[in-house]
Amino acid sequence: MATLTGISTCTVTACSFNTEQNCNAGAITVAGSPDHAECGTFIALDVRGGLPTAAAHVGACQRVECSHNSDLLCTADSVTIGAGADTADCLSYSPA
């Protein structure tokens, strides 16, 4: 049985799902374009959302060229989300 990869840290405090550098979304999608991975769940609103106590996970990964991608699931031990080329990037992204 596959397990979902956890999000160790998210430093994107402008995200509505971020509380004290923790992601409160139930799961995120890693999206982006070739050679670039970003958090597709990033929402910059003045309202806070998500679950009150969540251990967020990567629900799906669209970056098939990432070495951690297997069947559109992330196989990394955990991922870090933060500023990269964009405001909310998957900093654990590693092209195969």
pLDDT at 1 over 70: no
pLDDT tens by residue, 36-92: 999 999 999 988 888 887 789 999 999 999 999 999 999 999 999 999 999 999 999
Q: Where are the domains of the chain?
A: 6-90
Residues 28 and 7 sit within 8 Å (Cβ to Cβ): yes
The per-residue pLDDT for range 12-40, each reduced to its tens digit, is 999 999 999 999 999 999 999 888 999 99
Cα separation, 61 vs 59, whole angstroms: 7
Token reading at 94: 């590693």
pLDDT of residue 8: 95
pTM (predicted TM-score):
0.91
Task: Please state, in angstroms and rounded to a whole number, the distance separating the CA atoms of residues 41 and 52.
Answer: 17
